[in-house]
Amino acid sequence: MEELRDEGVDLEVIASDLVYEGAVWDVRSDTVRYGDGEMTRQYVDHPGAAAVVAIDDDERVVLIQQYRHPIKERDWEIPAGLLDVDGEPPLETAKRELTEEVDLEADRWQHLISMHTTPGGNDEIVHVFLARSLRAVETDYEREHEESDMRVERVLLADVIDGVLAGRLRNGILATGVLAAAEVLRREAATH
Protein backbone atom coordinates (compact mmCIF):
# COMPACT_ATOMS: atom_id res chain seq x y z
CA MET A 1 0.00 0.00 0.00
CA GLU A 2 1.18 3.51 -0.77
CA GLU A 3 1.67 6.03 1.99
CA LEU A 4 -1.75 6.86 3.45
CA ARG A 5 -2.71 10.45 2.65
CA ASP A 6 -5.64 12.68 1.78
CA GLU A 7 -6.11 13.17 -1.94
CA GLY A 8 -6.76 16.45 -3.74
CA VAL A 9 -9.60 16.53 -6.28
CA ASP A 10 -9.94 19.16 -8.99
CA LEU A 11 -13.64 19.32 -9.91
CA GLU A 12 -15.13 21.72 -12.44
CA VAL A 13 -16.90 24.50 -10.54
CA ILE A 14 -20.00 25.40 -12.53
CA ALA A 15 -21.13 28.19 -10.20
CA SER A 16 -19.78 29.79 -7.03
CA ASP A 17 -21.96 32.31 -5.23
CA LEU A 18 -21.31 34.43 -2.15
CA VAL A 19 -24.37 33.71 0.02
CA TYR A 20 -23.30 35.77 3.02
CA GLU A 21 -20.36 38.11 3.60
CA GLY A 22 -19.37 38.13 7.25
CA ALA A 23 -16.94 40.10 9.38
CA VAL A 24 -14.61 37.12 9.82
CA TRP A 25 -15.72 34.51 7.26
CA ASP A 26 -18.16 34.16 4.40
CA VAL A 27 -20.68 31.54 3.32
CA ARG A 28 -20.43 30.28 -0.25
CA SER A 29 -22.60 28.03 -2.40
CA ASP A 30 -20.71 26.07 -5.05
CA THR A 31 -22.12 23.84 -7.77
CA VAL A 32 -19.61 21.35 -9.12
CA ARG A 33 -19.63 18.66 -11.77
CA TYR A 34 -19.36 15.33 -9.92
CA GLY A 35 -19.34 12.04 -11.77
CA ASP A 36 -22.18 12.10 -14.30
CA GLY A 37 -24.06 14.88 -12.53
CA GLU A 38 -23.82 18.05 -10.51
CA MET A 39 -24.01 18.79 -6.82
CA THR A 40 -24.39 21.99 -4.83
CA ARG A 41 -22.79 22.50 -1.43
CA GLN A 42 -22.80 25.45 0.94
CA TYR A 43 -19.82 25.98 3.22
CA VAL A 44 -18.05 28.53 5.37
CA ASP A 45 -15.15 30.11 3.46
CA HIS A 46 -12.57 30.48 6.23
CA PRO A 47 -9.16 32.22 6.16
CA GLY A 48 -7.52 29.49 8.26
CA ALA A 49 -5.79 29.73 11.61
CA ALA A 50 -2.67 28.92 13.60
CA ALA A 51 -2.64 27.48 17.11
CA VAL A 52 0.01 26.82 19.75
CA VAL A 53 0.55 24.00 22.22
CA ALA A 54 2.89 25.91 24.55
CA ILE A 55 4.53 23.58 27.06
CA ASP A 56 6.76 24.83 29.86
CA ASP A 57 9.72 23.05 31.45
CA ASP A 58 7.39 21.33 33.95
CA GLU A 59 5.29 19.77 31.13
CA ARG A 60 2.42 22.15 31.77
CA VAL A 61 0.33 23.35 28.83
CA VAL A 62 -0.69 26.99 28.62
CA LEU A 63 -4.48 27.02 28.30
CA ILE A 64 -6.93 29.84 27.86
CA GLN A 65 -10.60 29.83 28.71
CA GLN A 66 -12.97 32.17 26.91
CA TYR A 67 -16.61 32.49 25.98
CA ARG A 68 -17.62 30.99 22.61
CA HIS A 69 -21.06 32.10 21.56
CA PRO A 70 -21.98 29.28 19.11
CA ILE A 71 -21.61 26.68 21.89
CA LYS A 72 -22.69 29.03 24.75
CA GLU A 73 -19.73 27.90 26.85
CA ARG A 74 -16.45 29.15 28.21
CA ASP A 75 -14.28 26.41 26.79
CA TRP A 76 -10.62 25.64 27.38
CA GLU A 77 -8.45 26.19 24.33
CA ILE A 78 -4.86 26.62 23.27
CA PRO A 79 -3.77 30.06 22.04
CA ALA A 80 -4.83 30.49 18.42
CA GLY A 81 -5.77 33.08 15.86
CA LEU A 82 -6.89 33.65 12.31
CA LEU A 83 -4.52 33.83 9.37
CA ASP A 84 -5.78 37.36 8.84
CA VAL A 85 -2.53 39.25 8.16
CA ASP A 86 -1.90 39.19 4.43
CA GLY A 87 1.22 37.20 3.59
CA GLU A 88 1.99 36.20 7.18
CA PRO A 89 3.16 32.56 7.38
CA PRO A 90 1.26 30.34 9.88
CA LEU A 91 4.31 30.08 12.18
CA GLU A 92 4.49 33.86 12.47
CA THR A 93 0.76 33.98 13.22
CA ALA A 94 1.30 31.38 15.96
CA LYS A 95 4.13 33.42 17.47
CA ARG A 96 2.03 36.59 17.34
CA GLU A 97 -0.97 34.90 18.95
CA LEU A 98 1.14 33.42 21.77
CA THR A 99 2.37 36.92 22.58
CA GLU A 100 -0.98 38.68 22.15
CA GLU A 101 -3.09 36.15 24.08
CA VAL A 102 -0.82 35.02 26.92
CA ASP A 103 2.21 37.39 26.96
CA LEU A 104 4.69 34.65 26.11
CA GLU A 105 7.42 33.99 23.59
CA ALA A 106 9.19 30.70 22.89
CA ASP A 107 12.71 29.82 21.79
CA ARG A 108 11.83 26.42 20.31
CA TRP A 109 9.11 25.95 17.69
CA GLN A 110 8.03 22.82 15.87
CA HIS A 111 5.18 22.20 13.46
CA LEU A 112 2.88 19.53 14.92
CA ILE A 113 -0.03 19.11 12.51
CA SER A 114 -2.22 20.88 10.00
CA MET A 115 -5.86 19.86 10.19
CA HIS A 116 -9.21 20.53 8.57
CA THR A 117 -11.57 21.31 11.45
CA THR A 118 -14.91 20.49 9.80
CA PRO A 119 -14.37 19.43 6.18
CA GLY A 120 -18.07 18.82 5.58
CA GLY A 121 -18.99 22.39 6.51
CA ASN A 122 -16.01 24.70 6.05
CA ASP A 123 -12.62 24.92 4.36
CA GLU A 124 -10.75 25.98 7.51
CA ILE A 125 -7.28 24.59 7.99
CA VAL A 126 -5.52 25.06 11.33
CA HIS A 127 -1.75 24.78 11.60
CA VAL A 128 -0.77 23.67 15.12
CA PHE A 129 2.71 24.31 16.50
CA LEU A 130 4.55 23.10 19.59
CA ALA A 131 6.29 25.91 21.49
CA ARG A 132 8.88 25.23 24.18
CA SER A 133 11.44 27.20 26.21
CA LEU A 134 8.80 29.77 27.14
CA ARG A 135 9.51 33.21 28.55
CA ALA A 136 7.24 36.00 29.69
CA VAL A 137 7.14 39.25 27.73
CA GLU A 138 5.38 42.53 28.32
CA THR A 139 2.95 43.63 25.65
CA ASP A 140 0.56 46.50 25.21
CA TYR A 141 -1.90 44.40 23.23
CA GLU A 142 -5.44 45.40 24.20
CA ARG A 143 -7.71 42.41 24.65
CA GLU A 144 -11.37 43.02 23.91
CA HIS A 145 -14.67 41.14 23.54
CA GLU A 146 -14.21 37.45 24.48
CA GLU A 147 -10.55 38.05 25.23
CA SER A 148 -11.25 40.81 27.77
CA ASP A 149 -12.00 38.34 30.60
CA MET A 150 -9.97 35.44 29.28
CA ARG A 151 -8.57 33.11 31.93
CA VAL A 152 -5.02 31.73 31.50
CA GLU A 153 -3.79 28.61 33.32
CA ARG A 154 -0.87 26.21 33.09
CA VAL A 155 -2.07 22.61 33.41
CA LEU A 156 -0.05 19.40 33.39
CA LEU A 157 -0.12 17.83 29.93
CA ALA A 158 -1.27 14.52 31.42
CA ASP A 159 -4.20 16.25 33.14
CA VAL A 160 -5.23 17.97 29.90
CA ILE A 161 -5.17 14.64 28.07
CA ASP A 162 -7.23 13.07 30.88
CA GLY A 163 -9.78 15.88 30.44
CA VAL A 164 -9.93 15.31 26.69
CA LEU A 165 -10.37 11.54 27.02
CA ALA A 166 -13.01 11.94 29.74
CA GLY A 167 -14.99 14.36 27.55
CA ARG A 168 -14.57 17.34 29.89
CA LEU A 169 -12.47 19.26 27.34
CA ARG A 170 -14.16 19.19 23.94
CA ASN A 171 -12.38 21.82 21.88
CA GLY A 172 -11.15 19.94 18.79
CA ILE A 173 -8.04 22.03 18.21
CA LEU A 174 -7.04 21.66 21.87
CA ALA A 175 -7.65 17.89 21.79
CA THR A 176 -5.79 17.26 18.56
CA GLY A 177 -2.95 19.57 19.52
CA VAL A 178 -2.23 18.12 22.96
CA LEU A 179 -2.52 14.53 21.75
CA ALA A 180 -0.05 15.28 18.94
CA ALA A 181 2.29 17.08 21.36
CA ALA A 182 2.17 14.15 23.79
CA GLU A 183 3.11 11.76 20.99
CA VAL A 184 6.02 13.99 19.91
CA LEU A 185 7.29 14.11 23.51
CA ARG A 186 6.86 10.33 23.86
CA ARG A 187 8.86 9.71 20.69
CA GLU A 188 11.59 12.13 21.80
CA ALA A 189 11.86 10.38 25.18
CA ALA A 190 12.08 6.97 23.46
CA THR A 191 15.09 8.09 21.40
CA HIS A 192 17.03 9.40 24.41
> What positions carry a catalytic annotation?
147
Which backbone phi and psi does 51 adopt, to 5 degrees?
A: -135, 160
Question: By the 8 A CB rule, do 29 and 17 touch?
Answer: yes
Look at residue 184 and give its three-state secondary structure: helix
CA dist 3 and 5 (Å) reads 6
- Helix axis angle for 157-165 and 172-190, nearest 10°, is 130
Name residue 124's beta-bridge partners: none
For residue 116, is it left (φ>0), alpha (ψ between -120 and 50) or beta?
beta
User: Helices in the chain by DSSP H: which ranges?
Assistant: 90-102, 157-165, 172-190
Number of other CB atoms surrounding residue 66 within 10 Å:
19
Name residue 49's beta-bridge partners: 82, 126
